[in-house]
Every structure is written in C-alpha cells, then in structure tokens.
Amino acid sequence: MNYNYTFVYILFISVFFSCQQSSNTIPNDIRNPLILSKNTLEPRATLFSFENEALAILDNMEKSKRYLSLNGIWKFHLAKSPNNVIKNITDANYPLNNLDDISVPGNWEAQGFGIPYYLDEEYPFDPNPPHTPIENPVGVYKRKFTLANNWVTDGRTILYFGSVKSAMYLWVNGEKVGFAKGSKVPIEFDITDYLMQGENDLTAVIYRWSDGSYLEGQDTWRVSGIERNVYLYKTPDVQIRDVFSKASLDESFNNGILDLSIDIQKNKKEAANLKLEITLFDNKGMDVWSKVIENPKESKINIKGLIEKPLKWSAETPNLYQLIIKSTSNDKIYEVVKIDVGFRNIEIKDKQLLVNGKPIYIKGVNRCEWDPYLGRYMSKELMLKDITLMKQNNINAVRTSHYPNDEYWYKLCDKYGLYVIDEANIETHGMQFHEESYEKLTNDDNWTNAFLDRAKRMVERDKNHPSIIAWSMGNESGDGKNFVSIYNWIKEKDSTRPVQYQEAWYENHTDMVVPMYKNIDFISDFAKKNDSRPLILCEYAHAMGNSVGNLQDYWDVMEKHKNLQGGFIWDWVDQTFAIKNKDGIPIWGAGGDMGDPRTMNDSTFCANGLLYADRTPYPYLKEVKHVYRNIKIKPRNVSSGEFTLQNNFFFTNTENFKIEYSILKEGEVVGNGVVNKIVVEPNDSTNFVIPITNLKVDKKYDYYINFAVRQMANNSLVPADHIVSRDQIILNKGIQGYVTKLAGTLKDKNISSTDTQLTIANNKWRIVFDKSKGYLIEISEDDENFIESPFKPNFWRAPTDNDLGNGLQKRAEVWKDITLNHKLKYFNYDLKDNKVNITTTHVYNDVFEQITHYVIDGNGKISVSVVVESDKTLSEIPRIGMTGIFKGSLDKVEWYGRGPEENYWDRKTASFIGKYKEDIEKMNTKYIRPQENGNRSDVRWFLLENDKGKGLRFESNSVFNFSVFPFLYSELSHYNKDTNKHGSEIKSSGITSLNIDYHQMGVGGDNTWGAKTHEKYTIRPGIYNYSFSILPYNKPH
C-alpha cells in the first residue's frame, strides 16, 4: 500500500540495526544478490511421485510411503547476531537438551523468540543494499529423524521446505548441503548422498535478514523462520520431473485442447522399455482421453490432445479433470503423478478481460496469509475456512498479496472456484527512503537475476493451476528494466495468461492497467480513454477500522463502462496477533504491542481486513456481499406485483435458486411467499409477478418487500438454503407522521422554577432542566430517573482511522470545541395551550448558534425542535445531533430503521429497513483502534428499555441516526496517546451513552491516508433544522 501519513514511529534502537559490515562472520552469500542458492533443485510444478494410481487419484501424499513429514517440535537456538551462534551447533552429535522447543511450521517471533516488527513501507533497517545489519538474528533449527533402509538405497530423497524467511544454510548429519534465499516458494535439496540408515540429524541455520529482504518489503509483519511445511519425499530412478499442462479451448469455445510438456529425469542408468501412460479422467472417473508413449528418446516430451466438448472451468463452474501420468518399465511402476486440469481461455480483447470468451467482473479481495497464533503459517483448515467465507460472500477473485501463497490454497481455488492473480514475492517499497532512488534496484543489473528468480519460481510452481488467470510481477517497487525482463520471460514461458504490474501503468509490460486506490473520478476518466486494456483496481476500498464507505458508488460506475472490470478490496483479514494485555484482557496485537513498544512500528495499519484475524466478520462484510451479489431484483410495476430478476452471473443460470419474499408493514410481516425456479440465462433478465394486488395497503404506513434469493441445493462450499442475494423494495411510503399523539394537559401547578432548575412534573413523571446550562437533566417516571448526565448538543465523533488519515481530528477540531465549550445565551419558558414551552440558545464565539425548542405535554412527551446555524467558513461537521448519558439499567434497545448491523450514510445498502431488537452490549463494534462505531441510520423510532419493560421512546417525523454504548462515548476517542488503545479493552461501565443525530458524515473508504469522505456524504456548515420527540415508555403487558 502507498500512503503519505504515518502513525507515530517511536524511538528505534539504531545500534540494533546498524548496517556497518565490520564482521567477517557474516556470510557473503546473504549480502550478494548474485548468489541466489547453492545445491538446490531447479523449480518445477507442484507434483508428487505416488507409488500407484489409486494413491495418485486420492492425491494425498500423506498416505504415501514415499512421504515423511518433518513438521512438529524441533529444537531451536536464537542468536542475536551471527557472532553469537553456538559453535559446533551444526554437528550431528551436538546435544539437544539445552536447546529450546519450537513448532514447525511457524514464525519464531510468533512463538516468543525475538520481536516481530510491523511496518508498512519502511525496512526495519537503514536501506543500504545489499548490506544487512550486523545485529542480524540467526535461528538454528535442529531435529532428528529415522529412515528405513529403502529411503537410503532406492531412488533419490528430496528435502522440501515450503517457505523459509529470509536465507538458510542446510546441514545433514554434520555436512553442509547447500544454501537458499527468497521466501514464499519451495526450496528443495537432494540429500540422498548425505543420509544414513536409522537416525539422521538435520540442521537449518536461518538468517532473519539477507539481501533478499530488500525484495520483501511488503506491508506486513517482518517475521522469520520456517513458515510452511517441511517434509522428505522419495523419487524413483526415472522421474517425471516436471509437467506443464496447458488446457485451453478452441476458437469455438466448444472443444478442449490439452497441450502437455513433460520432463523426464533419469537419475541412474537408462531405463529399459520405459513407458508413459497418460490419461485424462472426468469428474465421474471416466477416461475421456489417453495416450501411451513407448521408449521416449528425449527427456522433454510434447504432446497435444483434443477433448470434445469438455465441461469448462470458471470461478462459477469450476469443472476439473484429473490428468494421470504413469511411468513404468517392464510392468514395474516408477511413479504416478496427478494434475488437476481445467479447460478455459484467458485473453484480453476489445478493452476487456475475457474468460472463455466472456467479459467478467473481478469481485475480489487481497489476501495476506495470516494466523493470529502462528503468524504467516496457514493450516489447511484455516485456508478452507477462508475460501468458504469468500464463496459465501460473493467474492470471486483473490490476489495473493504480495507473494505466492501456500500450494494448497491454489488447489482449493481450482476446486471451488476463485480467480487468482498470483503475485511474485517482490516489493522494494522501503527503497523510497534510499538516498539515491526508489527505483534503484529495479534498474540495477546486479539485481536482475534476483528479480527474475522470484518470478520464475512462482510461475514454474503454479503454472498448472486453472484458477490462476494472470501473473503479477510484484508490488510497489517502482518500475524499471528488471520488470521488463520478468515480463518478457513470463510471456515466453506462458502465453496463456496476461501479465500485470501495478506500477507499469501505461507502459507496454503490463497487459492490464491495475492501479491502486484510484478514486471514482479517475476510473471514470480512464473509461473514456482509448486504451486497449481493461482497468482492474489491484487495491481499493481500504478496510481499516470503520470503513468501506461508498463501495456501491464504485460499482455503479464500473457497471456503466465495459473496460472497468472490478477490483480487489484491501484486504481480506486483519494481520493481528491474539494476545492479552497486562491485565489479562484479550486484545488483538498490532504494531507496538508485540514487545518493546519503542521499536519502529506502524501501529494498527496491519488491521485492514473484512474479517478479524480469527475470521469473525466485520459489519461491512455484509455490505461487500450485497454490492458483489450476482442476482438482483428490481421494481418494474410494484403496485401490480411486477419485478425484474437480473442474472449477472456470466456462466450460471438461475435454475438452482429460489426467491423468497416477505411483505412488511412498519417492520411486521403481513405476507410472504416463494417463487421457485425462474430460469434466467447468464447476463439476462426476466420479469415475474408476486400476488400482492389483493393486499390491503394502509397508505398511512410504510410497506416494504424483502426478497431473498436462496440456493436450492448444495454447491461445493455454499450449502443449500444459503442466501446469495437480498433486495428491499419500497411498496408504500407512509404519509402519517411517526410522532405519537397523546392527550393530557399541564397547568401552572405542574411547573416549579428555582434559580438553577426548571421542573415540570405530575404524580407520574418529572422533567428537569438545568437553567444555568440550558440542558435537559432528568426524565423520571415513578421516581426512577433515566438520565445520568445532561442531554446536550453534539457535533463531534470519535475519529475513525479514515478520519485520522485525512486529518479530520485537526481540521474539524472546532466542532469538538463547540461540543464541549458552547455557552448558554438564552433560556426562557412559558405555559401555552396546556403545554410547557422551553427555548434555549447556545452559542460559540460568533460562528455557531443552536436554538432548541422543547414542548412538554401532559403525558410527559418532550417534543424537541432544533435549528443549527454555523459560519460557512468552518470545516465540515462530523455530526449534528444531541448526546446524553442514561441509566445503565436501560440495557435493551429496539428500533425501526436500518439494521441489524451498524450502518452509515455511505455504507447502508445491505442494511434493510426493519424492526430490530438487541442488547446494548451487542450494539457496538470493537475495532482494533477505538473509534466511532455502532451507528444505525434511517431510523424512525427507537426504545431504550430496562428489564421491567420501562424506559424511553425516541421518534421523529423524519429519519435520523442513533447509537448507544454501555460506556462513555468519549472512551472511543483514541488518538494522541489516549488511555484505551484497543477496542476490546473498553468495558461496560454501568451506563448507557446515547447519540441521536440529525445526520452523521459518511465513513469513507477510498484510502486511510488522505482521502476524505465523499462530498455527497459530507455535512457542510450552514443552517439545519431537525426535530424528534422523547416519550416515557412502559411495555404493555
């Protein structure tokens, strides 16, 4: 991410990160970009050498006798620098009893060894490539493992590391095997010649920083160690070393073309009568194509096959075939490998990205690999949870920001259907702080191979996955000739997919224009340009804190222009640690929480997810699901029950969906029904009718029709009866005011006035005003006062992360001052028409005035009318309303308006008008940083109620906003080192804080480093009028 404002960087221990290279104990390998590896195997596709066809079809290497997992507890020593590594620790007989235990995989900082640093842009050391700090922590991992004799005598034994960060030396049985750097792609060593039968010793010496760290400057936690699976596997003497399976469609898009390139490696003597049996199976296990190759003469075999009318692969229809390649000699099986095959075409044509000849929308998210307990290691179960939530929330695409993901993730995307942008592990963001140039490394010939190596290893590993529709060369590294080299290499290697890069912009070495955080005006302007490429936002809708406003506005524009094809929200899940504070309260650990708080950190900028780190959704995931929905219902002739069903899927008709509807009068259901199997083809629409002509509509009341489109049968990760889309359509807008009309009179005897207070009361209730302040300070019923502290004007909100990013807390600080320091200019009351009329005027200097008129009737109803006038030279107004603290016994709330989740002016399309009820404890969102939350908009009335069913009712002739909290609202204003740093640390305090607002500005969401709330969701100074009423409430029994 690119942003201009910086959270506070607290003192950094410069000695720790000194970059002077004075010690000869630092290996040259880790500070030389020309040295990439030593004695490692060449990269290849993800393959496993199964013993037989049955195991290959099962595709679970853990069931194979040729597999040995080395995951689990290892022994560990962390040295603060290379000088401090224990001597002879790599010896095979080094005693292990004095070493610590550590789980593999898992970052060592996540397990209590050293401090993880969270940084967005900067390196955690002074940029001086290729040099690394002398104080460069070194983690030494050791473990024993036992091998049967056949592991030593037959074939070859390969040691696999899924990801090691940042650079590693390997020893086996005390002998140095090799070296590698560059994380997020596998490192493989052939260790056959180092092994012995029985017990063996393995040592991995891992350096936290290397020259490779300059290419790994992503916006994430800077953590180290073994991040993915470690295992041994056996390969036969004759090995299918690599396969490139290109599965495409012919020009008619009806028939499949299977283009195979197979590499054979013979590790020993020439194999007699070698035979390759190649078979393609459909998802029912039927053989749809096969080929036998006898005694191949060349090590590289190229063959093509034609498959008639295959089921096509797309994210909507992820149809897979199984390619089985078996090698034998004289009926002896060497090995069997399996590859999932999906037939699809990806192309750029006529300004659009096409899948199987059809333009698609990218309804995507950026996904960083994150586990709140283990760091960058992702279990299979957690990956499955991620893709399940994505599929169930209408997300169809993922960008692997900013590195190749675990291999299993792509298997899930192939199987369940997600479009993937696979991104190379290249980001040099911190070079912008280098004295020479941000683009120094991208144009340096000494770094060309380091750049290329990362792209090659990604493409070679992932080339067979149908879910990958484009390669991304990296992120935020400037642009230069090293990216041109990557582009040219990829295009030569793989002509079936486009290649993209965010900072190439309009240069020729990106096939799509993929900027980040461009606003709606920018993409609208691009749509009118004569560029042959589509625009897809690689990052947008920055979901930090209370955010994701105006998402619908983005998509309103995208759906108008064919060359605007969506984008990837930043991002999927918070990158925070599950920890406890000093008082034992669970919190989400962000920058500065994970050790010495003086270390350099970018605070909560790691918390930008649609989900908390434990995969609990934030409220705005529902908004994303709604905006991303593929089936929409629109009004046609509502009074006669005519509606339009729009199918925005590209490859799926609607036969597997049913439509449920309910008709609501003032939030109460007065009718419902089901419409089954309206079949609409992709990108088409049809009209349908529901029987509402006989409905007796009382024009005085609101009537809405809620539609829910449900899936009728299980579809992979989306179960039967799951709601895929919802729409709400107004049937009748009520004309009757919502203000309750009550009888009752007041007389002089009901009024009591002193120098300081005005009291209006009868034998049932009492209302008191503070005459010196002009505030309502008591509403009592049966001697129970519901107000804890005064009800007064309010124009301030606890700044959101977006507010802090654009400087609202300073720019609009006058409104905080007005809220806290306005003065009473006028207070008057009289009795007229059996009602008490009270008028107050509050002012602030010469720039603000609020006139509030209260009318109190004989039933204790308080009608409030407000006129706010402010000087037009003032800044935007965060909110216009009133606030007060009420008794904590009023701990339940019921309302008629948008809900049930929090919603705002610019983020409410998924929150339908209805009647809702909730405990006040559950009305708030505990964002990582405390901030404004919990608002409900377009509200007509709400009740604050205690356990006895007594309380207060607030209502209005027009819609308003409200929010309630079981603590002081001011506790949410965390900035400038306020007390509470984490939302979860704010606990209930036995009160009920209330905000009732004529309006509150939108939350924004374009970015969190300068973008303001869109103008149409902004409150400018001027004259505003609003009104509402407060009534004593007693639930009928």
Catalytic site positions: 476, 539
User: What whole-number distance in Å separates Cα of residue 547 and Cα of residue 382?
Assistant: 25
Map residue 51 onto helix, strand or coil.
coil
Bridge partners of 156, per DSSP, are 235
Amino acid at 530: N
Check: CB of residue 463 under 8 Å from CB of residue 45: yes
Map residue 323 onto helix, strand or coil.
strand
Find the angle CA(699)-CA(701)-CA(707) to the nearest 5 degrees: 105
On the CB side of 27, how many CA atoms lie within 13 Å of its CA? Answer: 20
Label residues 962-980 b or e (16+ Cβ within 10 Å = b). bbbbbbebebbbbbeeeeb
Check: CB of residue 428 under 8 Å from CB of residue 117: no
- Please enumerate in sequence order all residues whose Cβ is within 8 A of that of 918, keeping only pairs 6 or more positions apart, or say none: 892, 893, 894, 900
Q: What is the DSSP string of 923-962?
A: S----SS--S---EEEEEEEEEE-TTSEEEEEEEEEEEEE
DSSP 82: G
Bridge partners of 419, per DSSP, are 397
Q: Which two tokens stand for residue 18?
A: 């000194």
Minimal CA–CA distance to 449: which of 219, 215, 125, 242? 215
User: What whole-number distance in Å separates Cα of residue 410 and Cα of residue 419?
Assistant: 10
Q: What is the DSSP string of 424-459?
A: -S-B-GGGGGSSS-TTTGGG-GGGHHHHHHHHHHHH
- Strands 775-781, 765-770: pairing is antiparallel
Bridge partners of 587, per DSSP, are 579
Bridge partners of 696, per DSSP, are none
Residue given tokens 């609009």 in the structure block = 812
Q: What is the DSSP string of 792-823?
A: EEE---PPPHHHHHHTHHHHTHHHHHHHHH-E
Helix (H) or strand (E) holding 383: helix 380-392
- Strands 535-540, 564-569: pairing is parallel
Helix (H) or strand (E) holding 522: helix 520-527
Q: Which two tokens stand for residue 11?
A: 């003192």
User: What whole-number distance in Å separates Cα of residue 280 and Cα of residue 285?
Assistant: 9
Q: Which two tokens stand for residue 846?
A: 């010469």
Q: What is the DSSP string of 149-170?
A: HHHHHSSEEEEEES-EESEEEE
Find the angle CA(324)-CA(408)-CA(650) to the nearest 5 degrees: 85
User: What whole-number distance in Å separates Cα of residue 24 and Cα of residue 1?
Assistant: 37
- Please enumerate in sequence order all residues whose Cβ is within 8 A of that of 873, keeping only pairs 6 or more positions apart, or say none: 847, 1021
Q: Which two tokens stand for residue 123?
A: 């390196």
- Please enumerate in sequence order all residues whose Cβ is within 8 A of that of 142, keeping only pairs 6 or more positions apart, or say none: 74, 75, 76, 77, 89, 94, 96, 99, 201, 202, 203, 204
Find the angle CA(561)-CA(563)-CA(568) to the nearest 5 degrees: 100
